[in-house]
Amino acid sequence: MPAALGPRHARSARLWAAVVLSVTTWTSLLFAILHGGPHPVDVLTTVVLGSFALLCVVLPVRRTAPLSVAAPLLGASAAAWLDLATADAGVTGQVFFCLPVLWAAVQLRAAGAALVTAWTVACEALVVLTLLPLQQALTELTYMTAVLVLTAVLLVRAVGAHDRIVARLRRQAGVDPLTGLGTRRVLDDATRHALDRAGALGTALVVVDIDRFKAVNDTHGHLAGDAALAHVAGVLEARCREQDVVARMGGDELAVLMPGCPVEAAARRAEQFVAAVRAAPLLLPGGTAVPLSISAGVGHAPDGSGGTRDLYADADAALYAAKRGGRDRVGRVPTRSG
Same domain, 127 and 40: yes
DSSP 129: H
The mean predicted confidence, pLDDT, of the chain is 88
Is the CB of residue 333 less than 8 Å from the CB of residue 313? Answer: no
Same domain, 280 and 169: no
- Asked whether residue 293 is assigned to any structural domain, the reply reads yes
Same domain, 240 and 322: yes
- Asked whether residue 289 is assigned to any structural domain, the reply reads yes
Question: What is the distance, to the nearest Å, from the Cα of residue 136 to the centroid of all Cα atoms in its chain?
Answer: 48
Which one-letter amino acid corresponds to residue 117?
T
Has residue 279 got a pLDDT over 60?
A: yes
- Asked whether residue 338 is assigned to any structural domain, the reply reads no
Same domain, 233 and 320: yes
Torsion of CA 168, 172, 174, 175, to 10 degrees: 140
Which one-letter amino acid corresponds to residue 213?
F
- Asked whether residue 297 is assigned to any structural domain, the reply reads yes
Q: How many domains does the chain have?
A: 2
Give the residue from 149, 173, 197 where a domain finishes.
173
Give the residue from 128, 153, 173 where a domain finishes.
173
Give the residue from 152, 173, 194 where a domain finishes.
173
- Asked whether residue 337 is assigned to any structural domain, the reply reads no
What pLDDT score does 117 carry? 97
Question: What's the pLDDT tens digit per position in 19-30?
Answer: 888 887 777 777
Same domain, 87 and 150: yes
Question: What's the pLDDT tens digit per position in 239-270?
Answer: 999 899 999 998 999 999 999 999 999 999 99
Is 252 noted as a catalytic residue in this protein? Answer: yes
- Look up the CATH number of the domain holding residue 246: 3.30.70.270
Q: Which of 35-39, 48-52, 97-101, 278-282 has the least mean pLDDT?
A: 35-39
What is the residue range of 150's domain? 3-173
Q: What angle do CA 32, 36, 41 make, to 5 degrees?
A: 45
- Asked whether residue 179 is assigned to any structural domain, the reply reads no
| Local structure of 295: helix, strand or coil | strand
Q: Measured between alpha carbons, how far is residue 277 from residues 3, 204, 205, 329 in Å?
A: 46, 20, 18, 11
Catalytic one among 176, 211, 252, 328? Answer: 252
Ramachandran class of 36: left when φ > 0, alpha when ψ lies in -120 to 50, beta otherwise: left
Same domain, 193 and 133: no
Same domain, 8 and 153: yes
Same domain, 132 and 56: yes
Is the CB of residue 206 less than 8 Å from the CB of residue 316? Answer: no
Other Cβ atoms less than 10 A from the Cβ of 16: the count is: 18
What pLDDT score does 227 carry? 95
Q: Rounded distance, CA 248 to CA 175, Å?
A: 9
Q: Rounded distance, CA 72 to CA 107, Å?
A: 10
Same domain, 8 and 136: yes
Could you list the beta-strand ranges (E) of the chain.
203-210, 245-250, 253-259, 282-283, 289-290, 294-301, 330-332
Question: What's the pLDDT tens digit per position in 198-233?
Answer: 777 889 999 999 999 999 999 999 999 999 999 999
Is the CB of residue 308 less than 8 Å from the CB of residue 195? Answer: yes
Same domain, 310 and 240: yes
Other Cβ atoms less than 10 A from the Cβ of 123: the count is: 23
Q: Rounded distance, CA 323 to CA 210, Å?
A: 10
What pLDDT score does 73 carry? 93
Q: What percent of the chain shows pLDDT beyond 70?
A: 93
Torsion of CA 232, 235, 239, 244, to 10 degrees: 40
Same domain, 211 and 164: no
- Asked whether residue 104 is assigned to any structural domain, the reply reads yes
- Asked whether residue 97 is assigned to any structural domain, the reply reads yes
